[in-house]
Amino acid sequence: MAERRIRVAYRDGTFVPLAEVDYVEGSTLTITVHENAPEEKARPEQPVRSARGAWKGLVDPDEAISRMREQRLVRTRPEPDM
């Protein structure tokens, strides 16, 4: 039989599927457990904090700012007549 992944929660001594499954009541299955950190404790800022410093030494900030300012200049505007 093909291998499938089913997310479950352990409640009151029973593994409860977190989504609908198409097994017949009373089916015998083999379960392999991969423990994950509880999602409730995951903090939304964690990915940002874990990436902190990843660009250090790869980009010169002063050069990047100068390049952005230069790119914002509108060069397609006609010269004003004064």
| pLDDT tens-digit map of 9-59 | 888 988 888 988 888 888 888 888 887 756 555 567 777 777 788 878 888
Higher pLDDT, 77 or 41: 77
- Whether residue 36 lies inside any domain: the answer is no
pTM summary value: 0.38
What pLDDT does residue 37 have? 59
Is residue 50 in a domain? yes
Residue 23 lies in a domain: yes
Residue 61 scores a pLDDT above 60: yes
Domain enclosing residue 16, as ranges: 8-31+42-72
Termini Cα distance of the chain: 81
**pLDDT score of 65:** 92
